[in-house]
Amino acid sequence: MAALYPTVLLCVYGFFSSMRPSEPFLTIYLTGPDHNLTETQVVNEIFPIWTYSYLVLLFPVFLATDYLCYKPVLVLQATSLVVTYAMLWKAQGILAMQFLEFFFGLATATEVAYYSYIYSVVEPAHYKRVTAYSRSVTLFGSAAGSLIGQLLFSMANVELLYLVIITLVSAVVAFFAPWFLPMPKRSLFFHKSPGATEDSPS
């Protein structure tokens, strides 16, 4: 099955990029001893950067995703996630956290590449099945990350710093998957397949 290889790789990427044990505890981590920020700084000066950067980047990223045929944007998303959690681990100060939120906004905006890539490398007959796989695996990864984080923090008393490190490791694992995905030869707007125009109704 030609769809098997890219689907499995994409699902591996989707799972590990979504598994973020530290995410439910982000505010607590930033206001804790590792960063010593106030809740007002976190809520008013840091978190809004994600919202604004996501909104600004969403449309140009959408166009770039189609023009570049998805895969390079997937690599960009994976890189942004690694940078985000590496900065969350090591960087200090409000400005650094604002840059972190920008990279996270970029990672969020480029999610469109993950959800649209698979349709450019498999036949329409497989669309329903690969859609179910690629979407459900991100939900499973998110749920697994939250569960692992809650168990480690609440029951095993693991420091939040280690949850950030686990999240970074998960992002690093995800980083390698897009490099091995096949490069699509068609996209929705800029690189239509030769038969797309002929088959479309006039």
Residue-wise pLDDT tens digits, 2-24: 789 999 999 999 999 999 999 99
Q: What is the DSSP string of 44-104?
A: IIIHHHHHHHHHHHHHHHHHHHHHTTSHHHHHHHHHHHHHHHHHHHH--SHHHHHHHHHHH
Task: Tell me whether residue 125 is in a domain.
Answer: yes
Task: Tell me whether residue 146 is in a domain.
Answer: yes
pTM attached to this predicted model:
0.91
Task: Tell me whether residue 2 is in a domain.
Answer: no
Task: Tell me whether residue 23 is in a domain.
Answer: yes
Residue 74 confidence (pLDDT) above 60: yes
Question: How sure is the predictor about 200, in pLDDT bands with cuts at 50, 70 and 90?
Answer: very low
Task: Tell me whether residue 188 is in a domain.
Answer: no
| Single-letter residue type at 62 | F
Task: Tell me whether residue 199 is in a domain.
Answer: no
Task: Tell me whether residue 7 is in a domain.
Answer: no
pLDDT at residue 202, as a whole number: 36
Question: How sure is the predictor about 160, in pLDDT bands with cuts at 50, 70 and 90?
Answer: very high
The domain total for the chain is 1
Please say whether the beta carbons of 76 and 106 come within 8 A: yes
pLDDT at residue 49, as a whole number: 97
Task: Tell me whether residue 197 is in a domain.
Answer: no
Q: Which domain holds residue 166?
A: 18-180
Give whole-number Cα distances, 96 to 27, 47, 56, 57, 136, in Å. Answer: 15, 12, 20, 19, 33
User: Measured between alpha carbons, how far is 110 from 142 in angstroms, rounded to an integer?
Assistant: 17
CA-nearest of 189, 197, 149, 179 to 63 is 189
